[in-house]
Amino acid sequence: MPPISRRPLNRRTLLGGLFAAASVPALSACSGGITSLNGDGGGGSGGGSSKGGVTIGTANFTENQVLGYLYAAALDAAGVKTTVRPNLGTREILIPALRGGDVDLLPEYQGALLHYLDPKAKATEEGEMQNALAVALPRGLQILPYGEAEDSDAFVVTRETADEYGLTSLADLARHNGKLVIGAAPEVKKRTVGAVGLKDVYGVEFKEFKSLDSSGPLVKGALKKGDVDVANLFTTDTDIAANDWVVLTDPKNLIPGQHVVPLVADRKADSTVRKALARLGAALTTEHLTELNRLVDKERKDPEDVANDWAAKHGITKNEKD
Amino acid sequence: MSVDWSWIADHTDDLTTLTVNHLQAALSAVFFGLLISLPLAVLAHRVRPLRGLLLGLSNILFTIPSIAVFVLLLPVSGLTRTTTVTGLTIYTLVVLLRNTVEGLDSVPQKTKEAAKAMGTKPLRALLTVELPLALPVIMAGVRIATVMSISLVSVATYIGDGGLGQLFTDGFQRDFPTPVIAGVVLTLLLALVADALLVAVQYVLTPWNRRRREA
Amino acid sequence: MFELFKDLGAWLVDGDQWAGQDGIGHRLTEHLQYSLLATLVAAVIALPIGLLIGHTGRGAFVAINLASFGRALPTVGLVVLVFLASGLSMWPVYVALVALAVPAIVTNTYAGMSAVDPEVRDAARGQGMRGHQVLFQVELPLALPLVMTGLRLALIQVVATATIAAYVSFGGLGRYVFDGLAQRDLVQVLGGAVLVALVAVVLDLALSGLQRALFRHRPAKSA
């Protein structure tokens, strides 16, 4: 299915439009950011309520949409009204939106989230990261228990490139400093689990950083074409195996564990939400997630449909559709 | 690049939702654009020195890439419909403002003087004489602004909105032309229908033009 | 907001920001290259069409409607569509930019031609001028102001829209906008936007200067 925003179109949007006009003069007066709007965080844990419904925001790659619809399926089954907003952008865009109240819940990834909040974070083990996340999170946000499924960042080369340059690990890249081109989503240029960490931890310097997308058509197309030598992909991407691409090993543990973890605003975090997402997290494995990705990306199934089918099959929801 | 008709058949509801959503964004933008440009245009028409300033300003706004406008609005209005509508409204201004000023300019001086001589108050003259006579030119601007907005809405897909534009992102991510083709065709149809409707509105609103043409 | 503009100043004058692959110098050159080439190609396609329609008076209805149809084409959709058909190349960018520029040039060229006084045209014919002589020596010079308006309008739109090249992995000033969006670096986005606007304004002024230079050779006749 096309990613559809299911917000009602009626009065709210009309009012939104009115506000639009009002916000034009406000432009010149504004100095803060959306972070300054973070007033309704609830101040600490507990006290949230999902009664008014939960808006799930998802990032600009298909797996995150699948996860968003899985969350929606689990919450719907628990009687929580949900709205999924697909393709909102990167973590850099989503977290301010979560704090500002545009969305309430994000399917996140442990390590990447931790490094976004604290670029110097050292934790790599799941439990440690969970604790570190709890500390690093800004007021008003909380993480729930992490799930079984994991989707890590991988730095990938083609078989030919691996042979030509003798590459098996990230450390090998430093032997070819200034020669190789890396392709990744634009935000990866500034991320620890990305160009910054590769330089700091492995001493790797690339000839060029090419801004592409998140394990999407651009980065994979560029790797196939040879426009980039190294590509940042997701480990749950079935194209890695299908193309016999080589995932470079990470002997110094630059890339942290990336278990899927729900990040929720305090205002919506009640026991219903916690329980429903914990059940989902325990049931969804990495293999499941990889298969769901394949169904969406390769078989062109709707993220919402594959999520609902999976949820029904695994006892998350009652089997509604036959 | 073939169209997967079964996908289209399976997604008529979604396509309808997106189309309505798309149209709503575009029309809101034109509505607010008019709301802003009408008083500004009257001002620019009456106060000559302001004219160049206002028109020049709207021209410069037009040169800013729309995607940048949406992103720069994020700190103000976040990932909301408001951001989309505000961004689009800015782009309608260039056309609406220019056409409204030109429309007011096109009202013959004699007509205005006649209204004055008959003791019509300035505001009343504006509302009952000048604006109606300027209507054809204003409506031409409204038509252009509407079509332009309909084609621009999809840019907001980069901030998670964008009506039919969401189909473009979806098709792009999954190497799937069908949603993209559906999105392009529906956008064109929407523009075509909206334009035709505006022609009809104009026909109804300016009966004097009709009579003159028939005569 | 003030903070943002202060940071923008720092961003623009930072020497590092101007050097290298991702430097402003390089991105500016790319942006100019995409915009000028696309507008040139569009002009090569659109000018003859506009002139022909204006000269013969035939096909005007179709052309004008096609042009407004073209205005409705969603650029993002067109870029994605061509990307899916052609893969990772500059084709999506150029096709979309040319498609954007052609309608503006055709409509304005046609408008300029149709504004030529029929009596002037008849007088030229009466003096024994051939069709192509009437077109190039009488109609075109008279239509030139509007033709130039069309070109300028097209160029401004193309410059603003060439930003989209960055969406399909290429360069230009759009790189700053899309990277800035992904990194939520608003200074970078604003920097890109301001540079694009600046390029558009400068090119527009250059074209209007050219237009004025072209006119100086002929007695100003049109009222």
Domains and CATH numbers, chain A: 44-150+257-313 (3.40.190.10), 153-247 (3.40.190.120)
Contact C160 B67 (CB under 8 A): no
Render the burial of A29-46: b for 16+ CB within 10 Å, e for the rest: ebeebbeebbeebbeeee
- The residue in chain C having the minimum alpha-carbon distance to the alpha carbon of residue A96 is C184
Find the CB nearest B187 among C77, C193, C201: C77
Find the CB nearest B63 among C72, C190, C197: C197
Q: Which residue, among B165, B84, B78, has the nearest Cα to A57 in the 3D structure?
A: B78
Taking only the tens place, the pLDDT of each residue in A74-119 is 999 999 999 999 999 999 999 999 999 999 999 999 999 999 999 8
Q: Which chains touch C (3 or more CB pairs under 8 A)?
A: A, B
Contact C78 B1 (CB under 8 A): no
Find the CB nearest A92 among C22, C88, C184: C184
Least confident of A216-230, B163-177, C125-139: C125-139
On the question of pLDDT at A31 being above 90, the answer is no
Q: Tell me the two tokens of residue A321.
A: 């559709």
**What's the pLDDT band for C77 if we cut at 50, 70, 90?**
very high
Least confident of A117-121, A209-213, A300-304: A117-121
On the question of pLDDT at A263 being above 80, the answer is yes
The amino acid that residue C15 corresponds to is G
Q: Which of residues 158-187 of A touch C (CB under 8 A)?
A: 185-187
What's the number of CA atoms in the CB half-sphere (13 Å) around residue C148? 19
| Residue C127 within any structural domain of the chain | yes
ipTM: 0.91
| CA distance linking residue A197 with residue A205, whole number of Å | 11
B166 interfaces chain A, CB cutoff of 8 Å: yes
| CA distance linking residue C153 with residue C204, whole number of Å | 8
Contact C1 A92 (CB under 8 A): no
C7 interfaces chain A, CB cutoff of 8 Å: no
Whether the Cβ atoms of residue A272 and residue A78 lie closer than 8 Å to each other: yes
SS3 B201: helix
Percent above pLDDT 70 for chain A: 84
DSSP chain C: -HHHHHHHHHHHH-HHHHSSTTSHHHHHHHHHHHHHHHHHHHHHHHHHHHHHHHHH--SHHHHHHHHHHHHHS-HHHHHHHHHHHH-SSSHHHHHHHHHHHHHHHHHHHHHHHHTS-HHHHHHHHHTT--HHHIIIIIIHHHHHHHHHHHHHHHHHHHHHHGGGGGGGT--STHHHHHHHHHHT-HHHHHHHHHHHHHHHHHHHHHHHHHHHHHHTTS-----
Contact A96 C182 (CB under 8 A): no
**B181 to chain A: which residues are within 8 Å by CB?**
none
| Residue C223 within any structural domain of the chain | no
Per the structure, the count of domains in chain C is 1
Average pLDDT across chain A, whole number: 86
**What's the pLDDT band for C15 if we cut at 50, 70, 90?**
confident
**B84 to chain C: which residues are within 8 Å by CB?**
none
C174 interfaces chain B, CB cutoff of 8 Å: yes
- Residue B55's CATH number: 1.10.3720.10
Taking only the tens place, the pLDDT of each residue in C152-189 is 999 999 999 999 999 999 999 999 999 999 999 999 99
In terms of C-beta density within 10 A (0-12 exposed, 13-18 middle, 19 or more buried), how is residue A95 classed?
A: buried
A4 interfaces chain B, CB cutoff of 8 Å: yes
**Looking at residue B214, what is its pLDDT?**
52
Contact C84 B72 (CB under 8 A): no
On the question of pLDDT at A10 being above 50, the answer is no
**A31 to chain C: which residues are within 8 Å by CB?**
1-3
- CA distances from residue C3 to A29, B63, C22, C186 in whole angstroms, order as listed: 11, 23, 24, 11
**B18 to chain A: which residues are within 8 Å by CB?**
2, 4
- Residue C121's CATH number: 1.10.3720.10
Q: Which of residues 225-254 of A touch C (CB under 8 A)?
A: 225, 227
Sheet containing strand A260-265, edge to edge, reads A82-85, A54-57, A105-109, A260-265, A141-143
Taking only the tens place, the pLDDT of each residue in A227-254 is 999 999 999 999 999 999 999 999 998 9
B12-46 and B177-205 helices, crossing angle to 10°: 40
Taking only the tens place, the pLDDT of each residue in A174-189 is 999 999 999 999 999 9
Mean pLDDT of A48-62: 94
Count the Cβ atoms, other than its own, within 10 Å of residue B95: 24
| Residue B82 within any structural domain of the chain | yes
**Looking at residue C218, what is its pLDDT?**
55
**What's the pLDDT band for A268 if we cut at 50, 70, 90?**
very high
**A3 to chain B: which residues are within 8 Å by CB?**
166, 169-170
* pTM for this model (two decimals): 0.88
* Domain range enclosing C8: 2-215
**What's the pLDDT band for B181 if we cut at 50, 70, 90?**
very high
| Residue B214 within any structural domain of the chain | no
* Domain range enclosing B84: 5-209
Contact C88 A93 (CB under 8 A): no
Render the burial of A227-238: b for 16+ CB within 10 Å, e for the rest: bbbbbbbbbbbe
Contact B14 A57 (CB under 8 A): no
Q: How many CB pairs under 8 A join A and C?
A: 54
Q: Tell me the two tokens of residue C16.
A: 């590092």
**What's the pLDDT band for A120 if we cut at 50, 70, 90?**
confident
| Residue C124 within any structural domain of the chain | yes
| Residue C189 within any structural domain of the chain | yes
A92 interfaces chain C, CB cutoff of 8 Å: yes
**Looking at residue C118, what is its pLDDT?**
85
Q: Which residue, among A229, A221, A227, has the nearest Cα to A179 in the 3D structure?
A: A229
**C169 to chain A: which residues are within 8 Å by CB?**
210-212, 218, 222, 227
| Residue B215 within any structural domain of the chain | no
Q: Which of residues 194-213 of A touch C (CB under 8 A)?
A: 208-212
Mean pLDDT of C91-101: 96
Least confident of A23-32, A242-251, B12-21, B157-166: A23-32
- CA distances from residue C90 to A46, B168, C168 in whole angstroms, order as listed: 52, 18, 8
On the question of pLDDT at C38 being above 80, the answer is yes
| CA distance linking residue B49 with residue C124, whole number of Å | 42
| Residue B43 within any structural domain of the chain | yes
Q: What is the dihedral of CA A183, B155, C84, A239, to 10 degrees?
A: 40
SS3 B110: helix
**B81 to chain A: which residues are within 8 Å by CB?**
7, 13, 16-17
Find the CB nearest C193 among B68, B75, B169: B68
- Chain B: nearest CA to A298, how far in angstroms? 7
Q: Which residue, among C15, C34, C14, has the nearest Cα to C173 in the 3D structure?
A: C34
Contact B82 A6 (CB under 8 A): no
Taking only the tens place, the pLDDT of each residue in A137-175 is 999 999 999 999 999 999 999 999 999 999 999 999 999
Taking only the tens place, the pLDDT of each residue in B72-119 is 999 999 999 999 999 999 999 999 999 999 999 989 989 988 998 998
A28 interfaces chain C, CB cutoff of 8 Å: yes
Q: Which of residues 130-189 of B touch C (CB under 8 A)?
A: 144, 147-148, 150-155, 157-159, 162, 164-165, 167-169, 171-172, 175-177, 180-181, 183-184, 187-188
**What's the pLDDT band for C55 if we cut at 50, 70, 90?**
confident
On the question of pLDDT at A20 being above 70, the answer is no
Whether the Cβ atoms of residue B63 and residue C200 lie closer than 8 Å to each other: yes
A24 interfaces chain C, CB cutoff of 8 Å: no
Mean pLDDT of A198-219: 94
- Chain C: nearest CA to A207, how far in angstroms? 10
- The residue in chain C having the minimum alpha-carbon distance to the alpha carbon of residue A211 is C169
Whether the Cβ atoms of residue A184 and residue A261 lie closer than 8 Å to each other: no
Average pLDDT across chain C, whole number: 90
**Looking at residue B137, what is its pLDDT?**
92
| CA distance linking residue A90 with residue C54, whole number of Å | 50
Per the structure, the count of domains in chain B is 1
Q: How many CB pairs under 8 A join B and C?
A: 125
**A212 to chain C: which residues are within 8 Å by CB?**
169
**Looking at residue B195, what is its pLDDT?**
92
